[in-house]
Amino acid sequence: MDLDFNVHEFYEQMRRETVILSFKGVVSQDLLSRLAANLKNRSSGDSTMIGKRVFAIFIELSQNVNLHSAEKSYSIKEDKPIGIGFLLVSEAEDHYMVSSSNLADKKRAEATIERCKYINSLDKEGLKDFYKDQRRQPQRTESPGANVGLIDMVRKSNNPIQAEIYPYSEEQSFLTISVKLDK
């Protein structure tokens, strides 16, 4: 880090943007469940559904980072490589925003963008059908995930999912995914 990096400014910027949670690093199972637990408490002032939904979306996004980030750190405790990435939750007057950012294989990131476009084009019934159809597909061999996380997040948020790619190298891109939940 540059010696003139201003931690206070960084913190102030997050405060201005009403960030309630930010984490950059190894997104282990234990860590994400602790962060998520705080989030659930934090959200409990509103209606119970929004707290549950922020919690659910945070879990899905963090588990995406854990499983799919192209940047990994090996955990001796879990005997597995664990994804590194960035998680951000902010709370505005009328909505919550939950985001993740991580390095991803370029092709995989592009496929995610396409999948999000398709999911965003579906209406409520279409989302339900696609969710059920995808859950019925055989388990992907390359991933322990269910391949319905993105669909689930759109269904829970009632908003389109925002996915963006930022160039990094020949083989890898940064993938940012954001989900907005109206209060």
Partner 1 sequence: MENFQIEGENYIPTVNFNADTGVLEISGESYHEYTIEFYQPIFEWLKNYLSEPNRKLVFNFRMTYFNTSSSRRFLEIFDMLEAYSKEKGGDVTINWYYQEEDIDMMESGEEYAEDVDLAFNLIPIESSNV
Q: How far apart are CA 72 and CA 75, in angstroms?
A: 9
Name the residue with tokens 């405790």.
77
Residue 111 in contact with residue 103, Cβ under 8 Å? Answer: no
8 by Cβ neighbours in 10 Å (0-12 / 13-18 / 19+) ranks as exposed
Least separation in angstroms between residue 146's CB and partner 1 is 4
Candidates 17, 49, 92, 124: give the one binding partner 1 (CB under 8 A): 49
User: Residue 29 interacts with partner 1 (CB under 8 A)?
Assistant: yes
- The residue among 106 and 163 lying less far from partner 1, judged by its C-beta, is 163
Name the residue with tokens 């930010």.
22
Candidates 87, 102, 106, 152: give the one binding partner 1 (CB under 8 A): 152
- Size of site (CB under 8 A) for partner 1: 28
Which helix (H) or strand (E) element contains residue 97?
Answer: strand 95-105
Q: Please give the structure tokens belonging to residue 169.
A: 């190298």
- Give the bridge partners for 167, in sequence order: 173
Stretch of 4-12, 25-33, 91-99, 173-181 contacting partner 1, by CB under 8 A? 25-33
User: Residue 148 interacts with partner 1 (CB under 8 A)?
Assistant: yes
User: Residue 38 interacts with partner 1 (CB under 8 A)?
Assistant: no
Pairing of strands 95-105, 80-91: antiparallel
User: Residue 66 interacts with partner 1 (CB under 8 A)?
Assistant: yes
Residues that bind partner 1 (CB under 8 A): 29-30, 33, 48-49, 52-53, 55-56, 59-60, 63, 66-67, 80, 128, 131-132, 135-136, 139, 144-146, 148-149, 152, 156
